[in-house]
Amino acid sequence: MPGRDELPSTLQRSPGKAQETWVKAHDNAAAEYGEGERAHRTGYGALKHTQAALAGVSPGDTVVVYGAGPVGLLAAHSSYLRGAARVFVVDMHKDRLELASRFDATPLNLADGNPVEQIMDATGGLGADRGIEAVGYQAHDATGDEHPEMVLDSLVNAVRTTGGIGVVGVYVPSDPGAPNEAAKQGRVGFDYGTFFQRGQSMGTGQCPVKRYNEHLRDLIIAGRAAPSLLVSHEVSLSEAPGAYEKFDQRADGCTKVLLHPAGA
């Protein structure tokens, strides 16, 4: 891995700016250091947090990630960077599952059956060592009905006894549009009894992105990390509204969009 003195001048910290200020990367690195890198920091945060590990991924682990959006895909990628032996990604969108394969993860389609059963079959009944929740409180079933507890319940049953779960999918203290009164107050009733009996651990919270800037930058420069693999579209700023609409609708294989203010 290159040392700091060996880095291009455009990637080094600005003189006199302690730890936080970065000079813009040169143009040919934009795909790696743009939106893909921001999602990478959050995905990596599912594995390593300021105070303690969230999911606790370590060498040799089997990991299951729920959610094949940008953060989930890069959590899968980061699992391999942390030494995982196998990584599964659960989702219902075929284009995103195909992208998971590009990150060397094994895709599991919800349309093919209960993801817990799929994980158990794939692990000889042992379950995954670590699980990552990259969906959040707006998780919904195939009919579109929202179930804030759905992914947490599935993870508790897919992860082995004493395994770890990292939650980076967003949960909020209040949600006026939630399907029930408890959820409207930010209360999510998941399978805590099984979680307790299995002695599992769970880490949650927003990712402290500044903590990982330098580390992930160096992994990208060294060729170990490649967050730009998830970028599907690069468009001009004037095309942004249409691109965001496609992303929201999961249309046209739209997984991650890079915007070029000066033109595509």
Q: Which residues are paired to 166 by β-bridges?
A: 132, 203
Same domain, 160 and 248: no
Note whether residue 92 is domain-resident: yes
Note whether residue 222 is domain-resident: no
Note whether residue 107 is domain-resident: yes
**Which pTM value belongs to this model?**
0.80
Mean pLDDT across the chain: 80
Q: Distance between CA 224 and CA 114 in Å, rounded?
A: 33
Q: Distance between CA 12 and CA 21 in Å, rounded?
A: 10
Same domain, 166 and 255: no
pLDDT of residue 252: 66
pLDDT of residue 263: 63
Q: Distance between CA 179 and CA 205 in Å, rounded?
A: 23
Cα distances (angstroms) measured from residue 220 to each of 198, 223, 228, 234: 37, 5, 10, 20
Same domain, 109 and 174: yes
Name the one residue in this structure whose structure tokens are 């579109």. Answer: 144
Task: Residue 64: give its domain's CATH number.
Answer: 3.40.50.720
Over the stretch 156-184, which tens digit does the pLDDT of each residue have?
999 999 999 999 899 999 999 888 899 99
Note whether residue 145 is domain-resident: yes
Note whether residue 176 is domain-resident: yes
Asked whether the predicted pLDDT for residue 10 surpasses 50, the reply is no
Same domain, 196 and 75: yes
Same domain, 116 and 173: yes
Q: Distance between CA 156 and CA 121 in Å, rounded?
A: 16
pLDDT of residue 23: 34
Q: Distance between CA 156 and CA 242 in Å, rounded?
A: 38
Name the token pair of 20: 């936080």
Note whether residue 90 is domain-resident: yes
Asked whether the predicted pLDDT for residue 255 surpasses 90, the reply is no
Over the stretch 201-250, which tens digit does the pLDDT of each residue have?
999 888 777 777 788 888 888 888 888 888 888 889 899 999 888 888 87
Q: Cβ distance 233 to 70 under 8 Å?
A: no
Note whether residue 22 is domain-resident: no
Residue finishing a domain among 204, 224, 245: 204
Asked whether the predicted pLDDT for residue 17 surpasses 50, the reply is no
Q: Cβ distance 155 to 98 under 8 Å?
A: no
Q: Distance between CA 49 and CA 209 in Å, rounded?
A: 10
Ramachandran angles phi, psi of 154, nearest 5° = -65, -40
Helices and strands: H and E segment counts in the chain? 10, 8
User: Radius of gyration over alpha carbons of the chain, in Å?
Assistant: 19
Q: Distance between CA 31 and CA 190 in Å, rounded?
A: 38
Q: Which domain, by its residues, includes 240?
A: 232-264
Same domain, 143 and 254: no
Same domain, 63 and 151: yes
* pLDDT tier, 121 (very low <50, low <70, confident <90, very high otherwise): very high
Nearest to 87, CA basis, from 124, 43, 137, 131: 131
Give CA 104 to chain center in angstroms: 15
Same domain, 64 and 180: yes
User: Among 147-156, 193-202, 220-229, where is mean pLDDT lowest?
Assistant: 220-229
Name the one residue in this structure whose structure tokens are 């609708």. Answer: 249
Same domain, 57 and 113: yes
Look at 12 and 89; give whichever has higher pLDDT. 89
Asked whether the predicted pLDDT for residue 42 surpasses 70, the reply is no
Name the one residue in this structure whose structure tokens are 């992303």. Answer: 247
Residue finishing a domain among 187, 204, 221: 204
Q: Is 211 helix (H, G, I), strand (E, B) or coil?
A: helix
Same domain, 151 and 261: no
Q: Indicate the number of domains in the chain.
A: 2
Same domain, 125 and 63: yes
Note whether residue 34 is domain-resident: no
Maximum alpha-carbon separation in the chain: 56
Same domain, 70 and 162: yes
